[in-house]
Amino acid sequence: MTPTRTASMAQALNSALRDAMREDRSVHLLGEDVGKLGGVFRITDGLAAEFGADRCLDTPLAEAGILGTAIGMAMYGLRPVVEMQFDAFAYPAMEQLVSHLAKMRNRTAGKLPLPITVRIPYGGGIGGVEHHSDSSEAYYASTPGLHVVTPATVQDAYGLLRSSIASDDPVVFLEPKRLYWSKAELDQAAGSEPIGRAVLRRQGRSAVLITYGPSLPVCLEAAEAAAAEGWDLAVLDLRTLVPFDDATVAQVVRSVGRAVVVHEATGFGGVGAEIAARVTERCFHHLAAPVLRVTGFDIPFPPPMLEHHHLPGVDRILDAVAKLQWEA
């Protein structure tokens, strides 16, 4: 067996689902077009053929119904993985998500945990029209009872999805859809990657870019560009928004002294605000400058031909870095 192969993020997610279904008969997939078609992004490609239409179920078109049905299935001992077709089309399921998925363990004093993974392709950058590019992580992250996971690499897509499916808690698994086709080495044998841990993707001494999901490659690119100007930027990939890895974030910020939070969701009330506040509360005496945020504008997601103005790019990140009042 070859331990590694080159794979896209979409293929890594597909492999994670397949391996999870092979290992555990209680893993069932359900969603719109997940069966024969293999999902509109083909993440469930071939799974209905291998595991049957019952375990990879094409449901009627109704998000509350899909998630509500999955909750009942989990109450009976199954481990459902739900696919929401696009970020903005998960909203009809919001009530099931907030009132039941997130709270059932708590409401029943631990008697009814819901081991459900809700996979949601999210974010812009693929030229999608209205309602196909939302970054909805703040809604989920501010709902106690949910884990919120968002991988940025091919290996994490595999490892974090395996952990999410194995988790006895509900997980909102946000897939950065513009990275679906990014390719890298995948080591399936490495198995699952624990959720709740941030990882430093790039060492640096001048400042740290704190980011996740679709913005990771942008931050890495910005760090390269900054190096040419003599700035040595670290890049921290959160990978999980809930639980939040306060320890790693604080450790990195303290050692560097300057931080910029980068995400493409709107800034007002976004997770960047939360992160900046937490970092300030914990690292105030180590900070040489205020924590800055680089985010999308506070607007509904723009039409595709204008989205590049909204999405934080390298220049916007470098501008923020410059604002940290560099001492030579």
Partner 1 sequence: MTVLDHRPTDPVPGWLPGATAPRTDPAPLLPDAAPVRVLGAADLAKYDPALLLDLYRRLVAGRRYNQQATTLTKQGRLAVYPSSTGQEACQVAAATVLAEDDWLFPSYRDTLAVVGRGVDPLEALTLLRGNAHTGYDPKATRTAPLCTPLATQAPHAVGLAHAARLAGDPTVALALLGDGGTSEGDFHEALNFAAVLNAPVVFLVQNNGYAISVPLTQQSAAPTLAHKAVGYGMRGRLVDGNDVVAVHEVLAEAVDRARAGGGPTLVEALTYRLEAHTNADDATRYRQDAEVTAWQEHDPLLLMERQLRAAGLLDDAAVARATEEAEALAARMRTEFHAEPQLDPFSLFQHVYAEPTSQLLEQQAQLAAELAAEDER
Contact set with partner 1 (CB under 8 A): 54, 59-60, 62, 64-65, 67-78, 92, 95-96, 99-100, 104-113, 144-145, 147, 167-169, 196, 242-244, 246-247
> Cβ–Cβ contacts within 10 Å for residue 104, how many?
20
CB of 65 to partner 1, least distance (A): 3
Nearer residue to partner 1 within complex by CB, 273 or 289: 273
Active site residue 100: no
Nearer residue to partner 1 within complex by CB, 98 or 314: 98
CB of 28 to partner 1, least distance (A): 8
| Active-site residue, from 28, 100, 132, 263 | 132
Could you tell me which residues come within 8 angstroms of residue 288 by beta carbon, excluding any fewer than 6 positions away?
Answer: 257, 258, 324, 325, 327
Q: What is the DSSP letter of 306?
A: G
CB of 316 to partner 1, least distance (A): 30
What burial class does residue 286 get, using C-beta atoms within 10 Å of its C-beta: 0-12 exposed, 13-18 middle, 19+ buried? middle
CB of 283 to partner 1, least distance (A): 15
d(CA 301, CA 220): 24
d(CA 32, CA 83): 7
> Cβ–Cβ contacts within 10 Å for residue 92, how many?
17
Nearer residue to partner 1 within complex by CB, 171 or 233: 171
Nearer residue to partner 1 within complex by CB, 42 or 197: 197
Q: Which residue has the tokens 């293999």?
A: 38
Could you tell me which residues come within 8 angstroms of residue 91 by beta carbon, excluding any fewer than 6 positions away?
Answer: 63, 136
> Cβ–Cβ contacts within 10 Å for residue 201, how many?
19
CB of 252 to partner 1, least distance (A): 16
Beta strand spans in the chain (E):
4-8, 27-31, 56-58, 79-83, 117-122, 147-149, 171-176, 183-187, 199-202, 207-211, 233-237, 240-242, 259-266, 292-296
Active-site residues, by number, are 132
